[in-house]
Amino acid sequence: MATAAKKGLNGKQKAASFLIFLGPEKSAEIFKHLNEEEIEQITLEIANIRQVPTEKMDEIFREFFEMCLASKFIGQGGISYARDVLERAYGQERTAEIIGRISASLQVRPFDFMRKTEPAQLLNFIQAEHPQTIALILAYLEADKASIIISALPPERQAEVAKRIAIMDTTSPEVIKEVERVLERKLSSIAPQELSTAGGIKSVVEIINRVDRGTEKTIMEILLQLIPLD
């Protein structure tokens, strides 16, 4: 088994080296947040490590710090905000590496850059978009925020958007990325390869359950006309 001195450590080896440096007490606290398989794998790596060179630990701590920093910025303003701040500090190439490492573990959802935007501002921004675009955005937003936005749309557009959410199944990542790119550019001017699933009956029900009674009644009446029951 290779030691920690070997170049090109994998994630488990880096985690094991980091825990060795922290010591048993702090490592035990971290283990409380891991599942059995993760504990077993990291424990095995710890048992096989004989020495962790200082320069290697410096590299591991630098990577850990960068990922913590990126996580903090993502929590404050989303992935786009984090990228903007990190690029000022590290440049585009280094930032791409940091965001690339952390995005997989965070599983950043599409339209993350809109999550920090107030519903009223978001409504003004998307209400002129095509109903399919609005439906795609609302399907990925929190149900509470989506319900506020759909309630403020004209009745006919409410039903059209709700119908499109209800029948939405999968959307290719290429389409989502293109819509994100265009909308993010517009919004900034005023203020892994799998199919991404969103929408469906469950999604539209969660949204409708949060709107007021009048809006719910209007949407349901028009939906009954738009969606065949058979």
Q: Is residue 1 part of a domain?
A: no
48 against 173, higher pLDDT:
48
Q: Domain of 133?
A: 112-226
The confidence score (pLDDT) of residue 95 equals 84
Side chain identity at residue 4, one-letter code: A
Q: Which of 89, 106, 123 is the last residue of a domain?
A: 106
What is the C-alpha R_g of the chain?
23
Q: Which of 52, 82, 106 is the last residue of a domain?
A: 106
Mean per-residue pLDDT, 62-84:
80
Q: Report d(CA 65, CA 59) in Å as an integer.
A: 10
103 against 199, higher pLDDT:
103
Residue 5 pLDDT > 50:
no
Mean per-residue pLDDT, 84-90:
86
Query: What are the CA-CA distances from residue 22 to residues 48, 63, 70 (Å)?
Result: 17, 16, 22
Q: Over the stretch 99-139, which tens digit does the pLDDT of each residue have?
A: 777 765 555 566 766 766 778 878 887 888 888 888 888 88
Beta bridge partners of 170: 197
Residue with token string 């059209």: 160
Report how many domains make up the chain. 2
Averaged pLDDT score across all residues of the chain: 75
pTM exceeds 0.75, yes or no: no
Q: Report d(CA 51, CA 9) in Å as an integer.
A: 13
Residue with token string 């590290």: 90
The confidence score (pLDDT) of residue 2 equals 40
Q: Which of 54, 85, 106 is the last residue of a domain?
A: 106
Are residues 185 and 149 part of one domain? yes
The confidence score (pLDDT) of residue 116 equals 66
Structure tokens at 101: 């490492």
Kindly tell me the burial class for residue 230, based on how many C-beta atoms sit within 10 Å of its own C-beta (0-12, 13-18, 19 or more): exposed
Q: Report d(CA 77, CA 55) in Å as an integer.
A: 33
- pLDDT band, very low/low/confident/very high, at 194 (cuts 50, 70, 90): very low
53 against 115, higher pLDDT:
53
Number of neighbours of residue 155 by Cβ within 10 angstroms: 13
Q: Which of 41, 39, 50 is nearest to 4 (CA)?
A: 50
- pLDDT band, very low/low/confident/very high, at 227 (cuts 50, 70, 90): low
Beta bridge partners of 196: 171
Q: Over the stretch 129-166, which tens digit does the pLDDT of each residue have?
A: 888 888 888 887 888 888 888 888 888 888 888 888 88
Q: Is residue 6 part of a domain?
A: no
